[in-house]
Structure 1
Amino acid sequence: MRITLIAALMLSSGFAHADEGQWQPYQMPSIADKLTERGIDIPATQLANLGQYPMNAVVSLGYCTASFVSPQGLVVTNHHCAYRGIQYNSKKEHNYLADGFLAKSMSEEPSAGPSERLYITESVTDVTAKITANLPDEPLQRYEQIQANSKALIKQCETDDYYRCSVTSYHHGLEYFLIKQLIIRDVRLVYAPPESVGGYGGDIDNYEYPRHSGDFTFLRAYVGKDGKPAVYSPDNVPFEPKSYLKINANGVKAGDGVFVAGYPGATSRYNLTSELKFASDWLYPTYAKRYQLQIDTINKMGEFNHDIAIKYAGTLASMANRMKKLNGLLDGFKATDIVGIKQSREQNFLTWLTQQEPAKAKIITELERLLAEQQKQTQTNYYFENAQSSTLLATAKKLYRLAQEKQKPDAERESGYQQRDMKMFRAGLKRIDSSFDVEVDKTLWLQDLNAYIGQPLKVEVFDNALNNATDHQDFVAKVDGIYALTELTNPEVRLAWMDKSVAEFESSSDPFIRLAVDVHDTNMALEKADKELAGKLSKVKPLYMEAIIDYYKANNWPVYADANRTLRITYGMVDGYQSKDALYKQPFTRLEGITAKHTGEEPFNAPEKLLKAIKAKDYGKHEISSVYNDPRSWFCKLTSCVEPKNDFNSVPVNFLSSVDTTGGNSGSPVFNGQGELVGLNFDSTYEAITKDWFFNPTITRAVHVDIRYILWMMDKVDHADNLIKELDLVTNESR
């Protein structure tokens, strides 16, 4: 069912913005009335304070969101967010991915891996004036001055090794904020259901609804005996958070107001139509083609080697998720005329801008020129960059870059190569083996090399380094020799290269080190071109955003920054939606849906103990009779008075809400109006994937794991009684 342009345009005004917005916490008082309308009673001023409950209990994993749920550092997040930690501890003799894991005592909680971190945001400070004051006009100098100003602020902020600070751009360089985060370096695995629960439905159900996924896992934060962050040690003790979330065991019902706090990754809602067309016509299809080839390859190799299947489980899941999202974006662009919608809104904006400030209309012309240059650069460099995709070549390049950067004063080094980065740098080198296999890496690299030789642009130094191989067989022979002769498969050798000089790299006989040295200057030239373009854009984009914000305010539309992996809050209500097949998708799913989908084969292979508990209707206190507050006044309005029966009589598994989320919000706590935990965000519906570009309130729905399902799994299926005792459980009656 295609949404017409006229109908879609109606969604871009007035009601269309109902629950739209990924708000910075400090903005909450400005939308206090909207929160109240949704039945969110917790004061907006409290949500704006990062030192108060519940915001000081929300943490970042660096790529997902999590939250503290006990005074002993217990953390809950999504199963797929904890995948690396589960995979890290999975071996042939105990496959926790397949079988699940539960530590019955703290002494049984293993490290989630040397690279796992928890980041607790303690302060966010506007530093725009300090970053943008007296910037030079020359593009490269301008870029470098912004970086230098950022590094200086970061150095002042990081008073000790316990904190990680960053300067992040908002509104495409119009604003900059300094973010200070406490780092927890000892993260341990506590409780994870088997993948047949955590990822029930697999890629088939991914981004689909109804869902029946138990996408949750518990971790724990540990620190030294002095209470300060420390690397893993058997002597470490559980971290005591400043606060931890209360859990409402009654959950929520349809129509209830909810809000989500987390670290959404990236959205493009202020981007121009030309950027959307480039993504739709070239970028997304090109990425999707490569991902699909890699997915097929890893799957095939994993079928014949169980160790490969375990090592690449996390990589494969991430690729499959990105692939499904890319396909959803492309399908969404076809189903709804997003290009037409953005083009029309853009034209309206240009008309308004020309009338209000004619001189500023030239900004768009210059921005379009720079974006065209950027897109050409992306296409030109794409195959050469992929041709360097081998994990070992990427490692060699980073190590050689480190040797180069160490010749500079620390303040002048590139970000990622300063002294402050060395712990993570070292941890990354150690972790490679947990998700690396020579044959897989070799095969994937050969695929990228074949794509490289199949397109016209060549890089002479790279071709010379590969002895000018011109076909697949030449590449196979050359690549086999490179992998046979390298020593970078040895973790101790990799770590030793961190301390070597540029001269030692340039005289090395290791083939990957030599290749890294050969392509270094070319890569630096490409990086310089990127920085020069970024410098040009840093002058134009803020001016564009100033004009856009003025236009939005003139139309009384919500003004919030695009997602950028920083802490945000979004609000909405528990609500179903009218799907593309004209069926109304109910907001809750039941345990019985698991057995209805069960086939005994992946991805619908629920564990036997879970099936038995459902068959026996062993629901205990987690069962509810209805998920509706008042069907006559609420549900009837949505469905032409087809009233639901109050006979849910099961445990809710997943539910929908209208909150505005995207990637990075995985694992985010879902709160009721009182700020109590009622679920975990883990997905969006397929129809809603295009919300990264355009928010459509009629179909935009986020998918959450219901807290009642999590508690039921802990209580009746896995008997995690030790963990239940740690939780602060409340009910509507006891509040």
Structure 2
Amino acid sequence: MKRLNYLLIALLFTLPTSLFANEGMWFLMHIERLNHRDMQKMGLQLTPEEIYSINNQSLKDAIVQFGGGCTASIISSNGLVLTNHHCGYNVIAELSTAEQNHLKNGFWAQSLDQELKPQSLSVRFFVRMDDVSERILSKVNDAMTEKEREAAINKEIAKIQGENNGGGKYTVSVRSFYQGNEYYYFVYEDYTDVRLVGTPPESIGKYGGDTDNWEWPRHTGDFSLFRVYGDANGQPAQYSPSNVPLKAKYHLPVNINGVKENDFAMILGYPGRTNRWMPAEGIEQNVKYAYPAWVEGSKLSMDVMKKYMDEDESVNLMYASQYAGIANYWKNRQGMIDALTKHGTAATKRKIEEKFNKWANKSKNKATYGDVISTINNYYSLTNEKAQHDNYLLALLRSSMFAVLPYRIGSGLENYVSSNEAKRKELGPRLSAFINNAYTDYHLPLEKEILAEQLKLYSSKSNYELPELINEIASKEDINAYVEAMFNLSMFSSKERVAAFLDYPDADLLANDPLYKLSSALLTKYREEPEALQQPLNDYQRSFRLLVKGLRASEISRIEYPDANSTLRLSYGKVRALPKDARNDAAINNYTTFKGVINKYKPNDHEFDLPKDMLEFFEKKDYGRYANEKGQLSVNFLTDNDITGGNSGSPVLNGKGELIGLAFDGNIEAMAGDVIFDKDLQRTINVDIRYVLWLIDNYSDARNIVDELTIVAE
């Protein structure tokens, strides 16, 4: 029996990585070397060249980074872009008014001339990447401090960027991986003329609101459509009525045959950030200090915003996107606290680090790695309270316009005041334009209250050395009245007052402005680098880099991929159900149906209301070619792909590279996934492409959009 157990253990250590195939966010250029055989076994029918090619069209040409923070895909030869509703949310809100509320009522352009151009929106195409680790690391040595190392690396990065930007045509980004142990450069092409083509009503695109966010079963039509424009030659160009739709190098075909359990699923996108290599005490710091402060500060901001948003639809439109962003991270951080605590993630990491420490203190390793763990742990013990403080402060800065804006404008005004008349004439128009753009879409009563409430929270809960001005404010009996007085006295309380300063500049007036002094104090504190932490930080950065290097060299860690950092990655897995759930009417708990949408319907509820005609469509049950094999309309489905924030809007592809859905969320049970992957719990929640097309075609009667697509229906 013992011999059998030893054999089983040995077998486990020699099993192919395909058993863990759904873990990992992989570079496209490494697919053939690391994963292609595993992917073929699971159902991939494409070659590595068909996924990533520098010289020929490939899947990567249809994947774009959307708006700097999400992913989208090109789904027609005329530059049609598909992404999530929540990724386009701020743009849709910007293009809406109380009279023409596209966010609330939806919008569908029937022709190109009806498509709407927001003030600022871009997509980024990935051109190519390459490994420059050897080149960059040859410029550093172990005698350097971390700042010296960073300076040497940045100098070489500047050279690489200059060599590969095509004379300014491309954006080149050189990124660090494995905590500074490897470096790759990425070449991109940016298009800035991107226009809204279509969006369902918010009650469909955000169905379930905060209640259903990160939850399963889901019933959300989380998608929106845009179009990329270029000049007559297909090159990036600033907006012009003469620009034309981009002739796409490659676009995704759309498969409407549906999905079933264990079908292969591949996701390409721009995952924002994971921390799979994070040390145990870093996890502990987040769970006990950083994240609770973030959660408390975010909830305070949401409560203040919601009060004013519910009272006035115009205010709701102003703050809808900001509120949604804060709410998303509020629930995310609370979910992280719960999941990391429940699964004992820090304890699991400590066990790995104990093994590493034994390896590190062997005679051949000790000089390099012997003090790595103790140095890392010392740094976290020194910074726990600072992490708590920083997150309370960050909550204030993220939510309060007037915590940040006076400093941003005031630094320019300082330069203006100290300049001669000729220089002022040069600076004036730029400052005036900046001021005009800054003072749009805000509600002053909301801003006053949110600043006052956040100052109360920050000053009372931070448990850290605060700026002298904050201590002075905290000593006031009525902070609300004090903040009101600051607004009354400050020129930054209105656009008109700041603009008047350009005509009558006064250095003393600026220096003594109460909102400018407050904003300056807050941002100075946020950027503070305490002298006492300089050497511990240097030692920590070096030790973290060595920890990752040592974990890879010793093979103690099973992780084979770098953390996500907003660079294009591929993850692969399969359609995979969760255990049966009585809340889901579907036969298998890997998809949801339109019936489930109706079952959640609550008239006049801001999260679960529906347009009345949605109920009429349900009664008719006319789903046409978009019905599944049971005659139902599938809405969302589950896969076990490894994704994170930034993957929102990512295309979900079958083994032939055909679009079957788009990713929009994960499940709260696997919320620890940014730190440690759970192969049993991890799920990606996707919008079924058939629901997307039914909403465009049947429900919204936007057949012109469907006609652009390459539809596969076997």
Band of TM-score, shorter chain: 0.7 to 0.9
CA drift at 1:387? 5.6
Q: Does the 8 A contact of 1:263 with 1:568 survive in 2?
A: yes
Q: SS in structure 1 opposite 2:86?
A: coil
User: d(CA) in 1 for partners of 2:262 and 2:189?
Assistant: 37
The letter of the residue matching 1:476 is A
Q: CA deviation at 1:289?
A: 0.8
* Contact 2:491–2:498 (CA under 8 A) maintained in structure 1: no
Closer, same or farther: CA 376–141 of 1 in aligned 2, 3 Å: farther
Which residue identity does 2:37 align to in structure 1?
Answer: D
Aligned length: 679
Which secondary structure does the structure 2 equivalent of 1:75 belong to? Answer: strand
Match of 2:404 among 379, 389, 394: 394
Contact persistence 2:302–2:323 (CA under 8 A) = yes
Aligned to 1:710: 692
Instruction: Assess if the C-alpha contact under 8 Å between 1:680 and 1:705 holds in 2.
Output: yes
Contact persistence 2:80–2:227 (CA under 8 A): yes
2:625 aligned residue: 621
> How much has 1:531 moved relative to structure 2?
7.9
**Residue 232 of structure 1, CA deviation:** 2.3
- The 1:496/1:485 distance shift into structure 2, 3 A limit, reads closer
- Alignment CA distance shift 1:322-1:68 (3 Å): same
Q: Does 1:720 align with 2:714?
A: no
Residues 318 and 441 in structure 2, CA contact (< 8 A), matched pair in contact too: yes
Match of 1:594 among 594, 597, 614: 597
Contact 1:22 1:569 in 2 (8 A): yes
Unaligned runs of 5+ in 1: 1-9, 407-422, 626-647
**8 Å contact from structure 2 (residues 662, 686) kept in 1:** yes
The residue that corresponds to 1:667 in the other structure is 649
Match of 1:53 among 53, 58, 69: 58
Answer with 274-283 or 47-56: which moved more. 47-56
Match for 2:311 among 304, 316, 339? 304
* TM-fit CA distance, 1:504: 6.5
CA separation of 1:155 and 1:702: change in aligned 2, threshold 3 A:
same
Where does residue 324 of structure 2 map in the other structure?
Answer: 317
1:441 equivalent among 447, 452, 474: 447
Q: Give the residue type in structure 2 aligned to 1:590.
A: T
- TM-superposed CA distance for 1:477, in Å, is 2.7
Spell out the pairing of 1:289-300 with structure 2 (5 A cutoff).
289-300=296-307
Q: One-letter code of the match for 1:567?
A: L
1:121-270 maps to which residues of 2 (within 5 A)? 121-132=126-137, 133-134=139-140, 137-159=144-166, 162-270=169-277
TM-fit CA distance, 1:650: 0.9
Q: CA 1:457 to 1:354, structure 2 compared with 1: closer, same or farther past 3 Å?
A: closer
Partner Cα distance (1:569, 1:322) in 2 = 24
- Distance in 1 between the 2:432 and 2:638 partners? 41
Question: What letter matches 2:653 in structure 1?
Answer: F
Q: Deviations over 1:147-182 (max 9, x none)?
A: 444344334444555533322221111122222211
Match of 1:563 in 2: 564
What percent identity do the matched residue pairs reach? Answer: 28
Report the CA distance shift for 1:34/1:107 in structure 2 as closer, same or farther (over 3 A): same
- Once the two structures are TM-superposed, the CA of residue 210 in structure 1 deviates from its matched residue by 1.3
Is the alpha carbon distance of 1:460 and 1:260 closer, same or farther for their aligned partners in structure 2, counting shifts above 3 Å?
closer
* RMSD value, Cα: 3.6
**1:72-91 correspondence runs (5 A):** 72-91=78-97
Counterpart residue type for residue 240 of structure 1: K
Matched, 1:361 2:364: no
Corresponding residue of 2:423: none
Q: CA deviation at 1:624?
A: 2.0
CA distance in 1, matches of 2:696, 2:434: 33
> Letter of the aligned partner of 1:609 in structure 2?
D
8 Å Cα contact 2:197/2:227 also seen in 1: yes
1:651 aligns with 2:633: yes
Distance, in Å, in 1 between the alignment partners of 2:536 and 2:174 is: 20
Which of residues 339, 344, 362 is equivalent to 1:337? 344
In 2, the alpha carbon distance for the partners of 1:559 and 1:245 equals 29
Change (3 A) 1:527 1:245: farther
1: distance between equivalents of 2:171 and 2:494? 30
Residue 505 of structure 1, CA deviation: 9.8
Contact kept in structure 1, 2:641 and 2:684, CA below 8 Å: yes
Quote the Cα distance in structure 1 between the aligned partners of 2:508 and 2:65.
Answer: 36
Q: Please give the residue correspondences for 1:443-482 in structure 2 after superposition, counting only pairs within 5 Å.
A: 443-455=449-461, 457-460=464-467, 462-463=469-470, 470-471=475-476, 473-474=478-479, 476-482=481-487
The residue number in structure 1 matching 2:669 is: 687
Q: 1:558 to 1:383 in 2, by over 3 A?
A: closer
Q: Are the aligned partners of 1:462 and 1:519 in contact in 2 as well (CA < 8 Å)?
A: no
Structure 2 alignment gaps of length 5 or more: 1-10, 417-429
Q: Which residue pairs with 2:5 in the alignment?
A: none
Paired position in structure 2 for 1:644: none
Deviation at 1:609, TM superposition (A): 2.2
Give SS of 1:452's match.
helix
* 8 Å Cα contact 2:448-2:483 kept in structure 1: no
Specify the code of the residue in structure 2 equivalent to 1:396: P
Corresponding residue for residue 115 of structure 2: 109
Quote the offset at 1:106 in angstroms: 0.9
Distance 1:168 1:532, change over 3 A: farther
Change (3 A) 1:582 1:602: closer
Q: Which amino acid aligns with 2:157?
A: S
The 3 A distance-change label for structure 1 pair 651 and 665 is same
TM-score (norm 2): 0.86
Letter in 1 for 2:127: E
